[in-house]
Amino acid sequence: MGKMTVVSWVTLFGMVLLAVLPPLFLMNGQAFYMDLATRLVILGIAAVSLNLILGFGGMVSFGHAAFIGLGAYAVGIPAHHATWGGFDLIASYNGFLHLGLAISISALFALITGAISLRTKGVYFIMITMAFGQMAFFLFQSLDVYNGDDGLTIDVRSEFPLINLDEPLQLYILSYVSLVGVMLLVRMIVNSRFGMVLQGAKGNNERMLTLGYNTYFYRLTAYVISGAMCGYAGFLLGNFTTFISPDMMHWTRSGELMFMVILGGASTLFGPVLGSSVFILVEEILSSFTIFWHLPFGLMLIGLVLFIRGGLMGLFKSKGR
């Protein structure tokens, strides 16, 4: 509203970079960077979805990768059956079917696990969401029909009219536009009456109860929205990698997502995107130097969290406090 703050300039600048740079790399024949950017943008969507509940709702979910996996399997399983037969009901390459399954199953999983998890708070909430995430991980690991641990490789991506996801540029554009869409959606929700209650409950739940808000249902609603959005990111990731395995749901993946949000700056619009960008780029750079890249990476992350309050976006908000 009104004047642009430093934060909104940074947001705009970052989003423009993401729109312009990857296609330029592609045109220069550097497809590798396009791949990197696609992964970064898709994980950015997942991080933005997590930020809705973590940053704005104060719900530290340690099981969000489960939604990515569910979304990806919503692509992989129908495609697998369309190729190899069986399960006629969903055996299809139809993108709308994949998309519908990804979002609805993620939302349902969020509804069930959220209804239980949100009865707890603090560390217990972290642990129980992680447990549900691991539950999904072990379920898919044990499903031999879908190759268990080895995962599914799909030969055909989700089919849509007009767009072809086999084209890296088109897949990137879809992912980028989705990211923008998800960011706008989160901004709308956060600023709405619903969002005010959600943020109020994060700051002071007792006060919100005293005012007459049954905060449990507000949180659950946010949790379901977040889960569905993250499932959508999984749908994109499945189409991007064409290799879908339980590893996508592992708790370390959830931890990475959480880290991206906190690194970039929770409860800011662009923070999670910045976080996922920095996370993936630094991971890429360090791993090109040494196979022991986890050590410097970990130390750097710890340093960032310790010394920069409010994540990287906090650097641009120095005025005021």
Partner 1 sequence: MIPLLQVAKLRKSFGGVVATDDVSLDVIKGEIHAIIGPNGAGKTTLISQLSGALAPDSGAVTLNGVDITFKPAHTRARLGITRSFQITSLVMEMSVLDNVALAVQARDGSSFRFIKPARSITHIRDKARDFLHQVGMHGRADDPTSALSHGEHRQMEIAIALASEAELMLLDEPMAGLGPTESQMLTEFLQGLKGSRTILLIEHDMDAVFALADRISVLVYGKVIATGTPDEIRNNRDVRNAYLGDE
State the residues that interact with partner 1 by CB under 8 A. Answer: 188-189, 191-197, 199-200, 202-204, 206-215, 218, 221
What interhelical angle do 271-289 and 6-27 show, nearest 10? 50
Of residues 187 and 294, the one with the C-beta less far from partner 1: 187
Give min distance, CB of 213 to partner 1, in A.
6
Between CA 253 and CA 273 the distance in angstroms is 16
Beta-bridge partners for 152? 244
Of residues 288 and 321, the one with the C-beta less far from partner 1: 321
Of residues 132 and 223, the one with the C-beta less far from partner 1: 223
Identify the helix (H) or strand (E) that includes residue 128: helix 123-142
Give min distance, CB of 86 to partner 1, in A.
40
Contact assessment for residue 57 and residue 221, using Cβ atoms and an 8 Å cutoff: no
Give min distance, CB of 54 to partner 1, in A.
14
Of residues 24 and 211, the one with the C-beta less far from partner 1: 211
Closest by CA to 313, choosing from 273, 284, 257, 258, is 273
Closest by CA to 38, choosing from 182, 179, 190, 195, is 179
Of residues 135 and 189, the one with the C-beta less far from partner 1: 189
Between CA 232 and CA 50 the distance in angstroms is 12
Identity (one letter) of the amino acid at 71?
G
Give min distance, CB of 268 to partner 1, in A.
13
Between CA 259 and CA 275 the distance in angstroms is 8
Of residues 85 and 203, the one with the C-beta less far from partner 1: 203
Specify the length of the chain in residues: 321
Give min distance, CB of 184 to partner 1, in A.
12
Give min distance, CB of 282 to partner 1, in A.
30
